[in-house]
Structure 1
Amino acid sequence: MTTPSQAIPGPRDLPVHQGQATTRKSDLTNYRSVNALMESTIGLFKTELIKPGRPWKTLSQVELATAEWIDWYCHRRLHGEIGHIPPVEYESNYYLATTKPQVTTTI
C-alpha cells in the first residue's frame, strides 16, 4: 500500500504559477484527454494482441508482436472517423493539403 508521500503524481500535482490559475483547468482537461486516449489504446492493444496470445514464452515474442501490431495500427488499419483510410495516409493527405509549395529556382 502506498502512502501519500509515495503516491504517483497526478493532475492535481501540476505546477501552478502565480497569475496562471486559469491555465490550470486547461492543463487538467488536456491531461485527462490524453490519459483517456492512452487508456483506450492500451486497452485495445491488450484485447487484440496480448490476451489472445497468452501464454507468451519469451519477451522477444512480445516485442516482435508489439512492433507488428503498431505497424498495422498506424499503416494498415482502416479508421472510420477519417474516411476509412489508414492514419498514416490521412496524415500524409493533411500535410499535402496544408503545406505551401516551396519556390525553387535554377540558375
Structure 2
Amino acid sequence: MRLDDTVGDSYDNAMAESADGAYETELVWRRKLFADLAELELATFRWVSWWNSKRRHQSLGYRTPEQIETEYYASRLTIKGEQKSGHSNSPPNTTVKPRS
C-alpha cells in the first residue's frame, strides 16, 4: 500500500493542509509584509488562538469550541449536582425484576 493512498488515518494530512491553507490565506497573504520574525510569530499566535477557540465550526453546528466546552462542563456540573443531591430530572427507574 502506498502512503499517498490512505484516507482518514495518520498518513492522511488533508486536515493539516486545510489549516495551513487557511493560515496562509487569512493571515499571511491578506496583510502587508511583517517587519520581523517576532511580528510574524505574534500574529501567528493570535491567529492560532482564534482558530482554536473563537472560529465557528460547521461540524459544531456553527458554534465555537469555547461554546461547546462551556456547555460540556456546565452539563457535567449539573449531572454531578444531581448525583450529590439525589435528585434528577430523569424519570425514576420503574423496571421490575423478575423473581428467581
TM-score by length of 2: 0.59
Q: Of the two, which has the highest radius of gyration?
A: 2
Structure 2 residue aligned with 1:42: 20
Structure 2 residue aligned with 1:11: 3
Partner Cα distance (1:42, 1:91) in 2: 24
Partner Cα distance (2:11, 2:75) in 1: 30
Mark the runs of 5 or more structure 2 residues left unpaired by the alignment. 85-100
Mark the runs of 5 or more structure 1 residues left unpaired by the alignment. 1-9, 13-24
Correspondent of 1:31 among 10, 19, 37: 10
Correspondent of 1:85 among 55, 59, 63: 63
Q: Could you say what secondary structure the match of 2:62 adopts?
A: coil
Partner Cα distance (1:11, 1:31) in 2: 10
CA contact (8 A) 1:76 1:86 kept: yes
- RMSD (CA atoms): 3.2
* Number of positions where the alignment pairs a residue of Structure 1 with one of Structure 2: 80
Identical-pair percentage: 28
For each residue in 1:4-54, what CA deviation from the matched residue of structure 2 results, as whole angstroms up to 9, or x when unmatched?
xxxxxx937xxxxxxxxxxxx9xx430243x10000000000000011224
Instruction: Detail structure 1 runs of 4+ shifted over 4 Å in the superposition.
Output: 94-100
Q: Could you say which structure has the higher helix fraction?
A: 1
Deviation, structure 1 residue 89: 2.5
